[in-house]
Each structure stands twice: as structure tokens, then as C-alpha cells.
């Protein structure tokens, strides 16, 4: 089960790209805006109360939020043995997260748009020890997944 900490545009797109390989996508509705709520409802994500609730129910956590919020989500995930993978798509400093989340659970995801003439579309670059496991979650989706060396 995927826990999406903040279903903004990027987080929602990434969660939907994994949808075929996940049973359920949860999102934390506490403190979110009406626009976020509408986006999550449109995507058919399941609402839970707080980010702590979300993390406690998820085996994969996706943080596609501002780096300061990502650190908070990472701390919660690091304390949960049930969280197998923590995916950071915040674009923030990786060194900070590496001090919080075990390297066997941390994957950094970066989305890059293809030039207009490239038919492959957007690329998702994954780095971290469990990057191959995360790539499997995106199998069959619309993104071209690249594993960083």
C-alpha cells in the first residue's frame, strides 16, 4: 500500500503512474487545501487523518512535498518497521534524508521532461539501493524509468 504524504500535482502523477502495481493509495487529509482534496478525490485515493496515520498504514511512502515537510515524513517513516520503502521526490538535500532513513529503504526520484521531439515522454530517474524495487512499482506505467549509477 502506498502512502502519499502530499498529493500535489507531482505526487498525484507519480502515484497514478504506480497505480497498476499497488492495491491502494492513501493520502493524509489533515491540514490540506480544498484543491488538494479535490485532486485526491479525482484520483480515487483513500483519505486517512494525519501523516502519522498514513505512515503507520503504508509499506511504501512517497514524499513529493517541500523538503522541510519531507524531513518530517521521513522521521515518521524511519520509526515504522512496516515501511519498506521511502521515496523522496521533493528535490531537497539527499544528505539530510540519508541521516534519517536507512539506505536500504531510501530511494530518490527525479522527474525530467523529455524534449518535444522525444517520443519516450517524461523520465523518472531513481537512485538508491532499493531503486530496482521502486522501478518495479512503475512497470507498465507512462514513465520511462532510469536507474542512476
Each of the 149 residues of the chain gets a pLDDT tens digit; together they read 999 988 889 999 999 999 889 879 999 999 899 999 999 999 999 999 999 999 999 999 999 988 888 999 999 999 999 999 999 999 888 888 889 999 999 999 998 877 777 777 788 999 999 999 999 999 988 888 999 96
| Model pLDDT, residue 18 | 94
| Model pLDDT, residue 29 | 93
| Model pLDDT, residue 142 | 86
| Model pLDDT, residue 51 | 94
Cβ burial, residue 71 (10 Å; 0-12/13-18/19+): buried
| Model pLDDT, residue 67 | 86
Domains of the chain: 2-147 (3.40.50.720)
Q: Report the 3 state secondary structure along the chain.
A: CEEECCCCHHHHHHHHHHHHHCCCEEEECCCCCHHHHHHHHHCCCEEECCHHHHHHHCCEEEECCCHHHHHHHHHHHHCCCCCCEEEECCCCCHHHHHCCCCCCCEEEEEEECCCCCCCCCCEEEEECCCHHHHHHHCCCCCCEEEECC
| Model pLDDT, residue 70 | 92
Phi, psi of 58 (to 5 degrees): -110, 145
| Model pLDDT, residue 149 | 67
| Model pLDDT, residue 116 | 72
111, β-bridge pairs: 124
Amino acid at each position: 500500500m502506498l502512502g502519499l504524504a502530499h498529493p500535489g500535482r507531482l505526487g498525484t502523477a507519480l502515484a497514478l503512474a504506480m497505480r497498476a502495481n499497488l492495491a491502494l493509495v492513501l493520502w493524509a487529509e489533515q491540514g490540506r487545501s480544498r484543491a488538494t482534496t479535490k485532486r485526491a478525490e479525482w484520483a480515487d485515493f483513500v483519505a486517512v487523518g494525519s501523516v502519522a496515520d498514513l505512515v503507520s498504514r503504508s509499506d511504501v511512502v512517497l514524499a513529493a512535498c517541500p523538503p522541510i515537510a519531507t524531513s518530517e515524513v521521513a522521521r515518521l517513516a524511519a520509526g515504522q518497521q512496516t515501511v519498506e520503502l521511502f521515496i523522496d521526490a521533493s528535490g531537497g538535500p539527499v544528505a539530510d534524508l540519508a541521516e534519517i532513513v536507512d539506505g536500504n529503504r531510501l530511494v530518490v526520484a527525479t522527474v525530467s521532461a523529455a524534449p518535444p521531439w522525444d517520443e519516450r515522454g517524461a523520465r523518472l530517474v531513481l537512485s538508491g539501493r532499493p531503486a530496482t524495487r521502486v522501478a518495479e512499482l512503475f512497470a507498465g506505467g507512462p514513465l520511462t524509468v532510469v536507474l542512476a549509477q
